[in-house]
Structure 1
Amino acid sequence: MTDELDAAQRRVEQVLLGGDRLYTRQEASDKAGVPLTRAESLWRALGFATVPNEAVVFTDADVEALRTTDELMSAGILEPELTIATARMLGQHLSRLAEWQVDILRDVLIANPELAADERQLGRFIERLVPALERIQNHAWRRHLTAYAGRALATSGEELVSRNEVVGFADMVGFTTFTRRSNEAQLVSVVDKFDSLTAGVVADNRGRIVKMLGDEVMFVADSPAQGAEIALTMLERAEADPDLPLLRAGLAYGYVVNRFGDVYGSVVNIAARLTSVARPGTVMVSRELADELANLGPYTVRNRRPVSVRGFSRLRLAVLRRSDEEVPSIPLVPDTPRRKRR
């Protein structure tokens, strides 16, 4: 049985890597015509494990990828520093995607043990699965690329990097307590529901999810109205779902810097702090965002007294609600310790 599993693993690896392992680090870099130091920098940025000099681990596909990257640099399309940063970003995001996909594959093999026991059958299955995943991923990438290109290319060069945006956070209230009294299946179910809810609401309102942090989502939107609608709809749908905890949210509006899919600046910190003082089921917004929303019919903002939170001695804020919703008197909660922000 061990021999069968080893053979199946080798077959799967060959399919996934696009060929056999043929080259050491030096041989791969020589064949690609790329200095070894540059190749090693790229491999480290991509998150590949460091291997001994004599280890034969690289394939013809590795050589071709290295050669293509070097050609882009030589043509001036990618600066060396930008290349490393891009590789690091790709490595971080794709490693998470790969982990999730392998978890799915493992579940399939557990449910179908006869598939794992038959090397040829498993090989055929992987050969069908991998191209299908590639097509889906490529399609999703092109769709997102089209959406962002249409928006970005219509602005000036400076605005491609930095512009005014709404930054928002929403998190599940009492999630730490929930994890202590829940089993793994319950925890996975709640996190999956939260991910699905937030992804759908953000997409429906033309926003973008920056990152998911377990019990919390960080998102951005181009306009105040879009940001407000995302936050309010998230909270409403969570409240209507008996299997989800209540959510709370914080929104801030202003100048942010975009870099490799992430956003930076004081607006990010303000949105995080607002989330930390929001009551369950409420949305707190910065005074700047409140001013933008004040004249929009669907929403009502009510200013609250300034609060002192980490990094801001007197943070001005307001409660955001829909215009047809009653606005009760809601006290603020103290600023609670949260994960470290920028």
Structure 2
Amino acid sequence: MSPSDPERAELRDTLARLILRHDLTLTSAEVTEKGGLDHARGLRLWRALGFPETGDGLAYGEPDVKALAAVAEALDGDLLDESTVLRMTRGLGSTMARLADWQVSALVDQIERDVQQGKARTRLEAAAALARSTAPGFEHLMVYAWRRHLAAAAARVEALGAADAELLSTTMTVGFADLSRFTALSNGLDDNSLGDLVENFETRCADVITAHGGRVIKTLGDAVLFVTEDPREGTRTALDLVKQIASRTELPNICVGLATGSVINRLGDVYGPPVNLAARLSHVARSNRVLVDAATAEALGDEFDTRTLPPRPLRGFGNLSPITVSERRAFRSR
């Protein structure tokens, strides 16, 4: 039996309370006043987190007061200036929004199975049960992962040196792995099959990249942007990506572009000519091939075979000669 509209509304409220762990009893004006911030500054922080303004509605509780109070304390104590707080808040909001969407998407199959197997009458009931049982443990895991990544990021910055310019930019090898003929393929798949394909591709790419000591910067559905600190390791990563993805019959071929140079690290993303060049190279690469720029090729030494291709126009870079790279074949005597 399907629940009535009042029951569904009650379940939604229950789910919200289970996730937020508090009741919503304060307006935006009240929460900013109790948190020690003026209303305009509080609204800027709220928008920076990625949330719409709530007007005079009851949309906040005591944990929101504590969060604003922590920000107010940092600002009043001159620990952080307002621009830094807003940048950190914007990055946090963007990251958490994507994580939340990913979590909900990942749980859909579990929720559907619970309903089909009679463990819950509705999706809302199944979601509420999961919130009760799994949310605390996942929250602990989330904080643990954040601390580990924060320590790693701090170590990377420390390794760059003390000069301000060095902290803002560094030389990296940027990789762009792109699924071949993805648009045509996606047009022939239903939503579930397309979602499974993208998740499979992103997961396998992330496994290969991290195994080689690289970092996934972002995924774009049919492409993965990653960085490594060394051109040789970046090339090994790219060739391993081709090998691993090509061996999976359920995945299409990929094309990989690599470029080395100075990039700017900002808010978890990377910017600069090598990022754009790596993307352009992946777009002109043949299936299951790796193309690199001259700076990457010069750093490879004798470990790989390289071949310079005829010049071709690359948007934003003029006519360039891509260089194809492959594993060096061992010499066999007859």
Would you say the 8 A contact 2:280–2:315 is kept in 1? Answer: yes
Aligned to 1:97: 99
Would you say the 8 A contact 2:111–2:126 is kept in 1? Answer: no
Aligned to 1:108: 110
Match of 2:318, SS state, is strand
1:120–1:107 distance in 2 versus 1, CA, 3 Å = closer
The yes-or-no answer on 1:38 pairing with 2:41 is yes
Letter in 1 for 2:73: E
1:85–1:197 distance in 2 versus 1, CA, 3 Å = same
Aligned to 2:8: 5
1:117 Cα shift? 5.8
1:250 Cα shift? 0.5
Would you say the 8 A contact 1:32–1:64 is kept in 2? Answer: yes
1:5–1:201 distance in 2 versus 1, CA, 3 Å = same
Match of 1:27, SS state, is helix
In 1: Cα distance, 2:124 partner to 2:223 partner? 41
1:216 Cα shift? 0.4
In 2: Cα distance, 1:273 partner to 1:27 partner? 51
The yes-or-no answer on 1:156 pairing with 2:182 is no
Match of 2:42, SS state, is helix
In 1: Cα distance, 2:130 partner to 2:305 partner? 55
1:37 Cα shift? 0.8
Would you say the 8 A contact 2:75–2:82 is kept in 1? Answer: yes
Match of 2:159, SS state, is coil
In 2: Cα distance, 1:204 partner to 1:118 partner? 37
In 1: Cα distance, 2:323 partner to 2:271 partner? 23
What TM-score does the superposition give when structure 2 sets the normalisation length? 0.91
The yes-or-no answer on 1:137 pairing with 2:126 is no
1:192–1:146 distance in 2 versus 1, CA, 3 Å = same
Would you say the 8 A contact 1:8–1:116 is kept in 2? Answer: no
In 1: Cα distance, 2:233 partner to 2:326 partner? 14
The yes-or-no answer on 1:313 pairing with 2:318 is yes
Unaligned runs of 5+ residues in structure 2 are none
1:123–1:248 distance in 2 versus 1, CA, 3 Å = closer
Aligned to 2:60: 58
Q: Let me know the Cα RMSD of the aligned residues.
A: 2.1
Aligned to 1:323: 328
1:199 Cα shift? 0.6
1:229–1:156 distance in 2 versus 1, CA, 3 Å = same
Matches within 5 A, 1:107-126: 107-113=109-115, 114-115=119-120, 125-126=130-131
In 2: Cα distance, 1:82 partner to 1:74 partner? 14
Would you say the 8 A contact 2:313–2:319 is kept in 1? Answer: yes
Aligned residue among 191, 201, 206 for 2:213: 206
Aligned to 1:47: 50
1:148 Cα shift? 2.2
Would you say the 8 A contact 1:248–1:281 is kept in 2? Answer: yes
In 2: Cα distance, 1:138 partner to 1:39 partner? 25
In 1: Cα distance, 2:121 partner to 2:83 partner? 43
In 1: Cα distance, 2:79 partner to 2:312 partner? 47
Equivalences, count = 323
1:311–1:17 distance in 2 versus 1, CA, 3 Å = same
Aligned to 1:23: 26
Aligned to 1:247: 254
Matches within 5 A, 1:152-231: 152-157=157-162, 158=164, 159-231=166-238
1:316 Cα shift? 3.6
What TM-score does the superposition give when structure 1 sets the normalisation length? 0.89
The yes-or-no answer on 1:88 pairing with 2:68 is no
1:38 Cα shift? 0.7
Q: After TM superposition, where is structure 1 displaced by more than 6 Å over at least 4 residues in a row?
A: 118-122
Would you say the 8 A contact 1:11–1:119 is kept in 2? Answer: no
1:33-61 CA-to-partner distances (Å, cap 9, x unmatched) read 10111110011111112212x21110111
1:150 Cα shift? 2.2
1:128 Cα shift? 2.6
1:70-116 CA-to-partner distances (Å, cap 9, x unmatched) read 22233333221121122112211211111122234444333223435
Aligned to 2:77: 75
Would you say the 8 A contact 2:112–2:123 is kept in 1? Answer: no
State the identity as a percent: 33
The yes-or-no answer on 1:300 pairing with 2:283 is no
